């Protein structure tokens, strides 16, 4: 009979092999640089806006690290479902920043937030062009009207398909084996950069802040911004 320790040793060895293959086959520089940028954005946001929303930022940073770890060891679906959570929490951060009374009521009554990405865009114009104009973000020129909110909805919808296990998102049709697959990893990498990029985009747009070169370069990867002044 196989012992629990022997089983976990086998899993550990397989995991280490997948990690080695992922690192050997892919340049992780941009992915890690993107993660570092979001951690820096987190710190600047908290320093300038207080600690009320720090719990959200801590979860965002922690889950970005966890998702990356899962992605590089072959657990791609798990990593992608984590990215959906990160996108949702990111939208909560920027929504509640401008709805402090609503956030206070939420905290004081132990309730759950029902501010889903699609609903706050549809019902409250979240990061539509009209919404962005309130921030007077003259340094940020959108590529086209409402493009940031459209990107948010499309990325969220794509990740929701994975969370809800749409058949076209399943990765284990042939067997249960967990192994390195470049195509699956590249799909995860694309979404990971998308999420980091849109976080940077939201920060830059909300605060009209274009002084950090790395954050600007990251934000531009969404192709939602035509120009940063």
Does residue 15 fall inside a structural domain? no
What is the biggest distance separating any 2 CA atoms in the chain, rounded to whole angstroms? Answer: 67
Reference 80, options 183, 185, 154; nearest CA is: 185
Q: Does residue 201 lie in a domain region?
A: yes
* Average pLDDT for 134-141: 92
In this model, does residue 161 exceed pLDDT 90? no
* pLDDT over 80 at 197, yes or no: yes
Nearest to 215, CA basis, from 27, 38, 44, 57 = 38
| For residue 135, pLDDT beyond 60 | yes
As a whole number, mean pLDDT of residues 31-55 equals 97
- Among 7-21, 162-176, 193-207, 210-224, the least confident range: 162-176
Range from 34-38, 39-43, 103-107 carrying the lowest mean pLDDT = 103-107
User: What range does the domain containing 186 cover?
Assistant: 20-228
Q: Please report whether residue 35 resides in a domain.
A: yes
Give a yes or no: residue 6 inside a domain: no
Domain assignment present for residue 51? The answer is: yes
pLDDT of residue 8: 74
Q: Is residue 5 part of a domain?
A: no
Segment 126-132 mean pLDDT = 96
> How many angstroms separate the CA atoms of 135 and 62, rounded?
29
Query: How many Cβ atoms are within 10 Å of 197's Cβ, its own excluded?
Result: 25
Chain-centroid distance of CA 9 in Å reads 32
Domain for residue 9, yes or no? no
Residue 91 lies in a domain: yes
Domains contained in the chain, number: 1
């Amino acid at each position: 009979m196989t012992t629990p320790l022997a089983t976990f040793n086998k899993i550990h060895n397989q995991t280490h092999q997948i990690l080695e293959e992922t690192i050997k086959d892919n340049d992780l520089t941009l992915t890690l640089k993107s993660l570092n940028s979001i951690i820096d954005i987190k710190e600047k946001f908290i320093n300038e806006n207080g600690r009320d929303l720090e719990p959200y930022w801590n979860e965002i940073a922690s889950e970005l690290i966890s998702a990356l770890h899962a992605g590089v060891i072959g657990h791609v679906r798990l990593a992608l479902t984590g990215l959906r959570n990160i996108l949702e929490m990111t939208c909560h951060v920027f929504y509640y920043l401008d709805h402090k009374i609503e956030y206070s009521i939420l905290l004081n009554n132990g309730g759950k937030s029902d501010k889903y990405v699609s609903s706050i865009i549809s019902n409250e114009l979240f990061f539509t062009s009209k919404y962005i104009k309130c921030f007077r973000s003259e340094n940020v020129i959108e590529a086209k009207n409402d493009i940031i909110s459209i990107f948010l909805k499309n990325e969220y919808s794509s990740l929701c398909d994975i969370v809800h296990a749409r058949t076209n998102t399943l990765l284990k049709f042939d067997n249960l084996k967990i192994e390195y697959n470049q195509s699956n990893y590249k799909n995860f990498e694309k979404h990971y950069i998308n999420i980091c990029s849109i976080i940077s985009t939201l920060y830059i747009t909300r605060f009209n802040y274009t002084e950090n070169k790395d954050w600007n370069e990251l934000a531009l990867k969404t192709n939602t911004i035509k120009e940063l002044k």
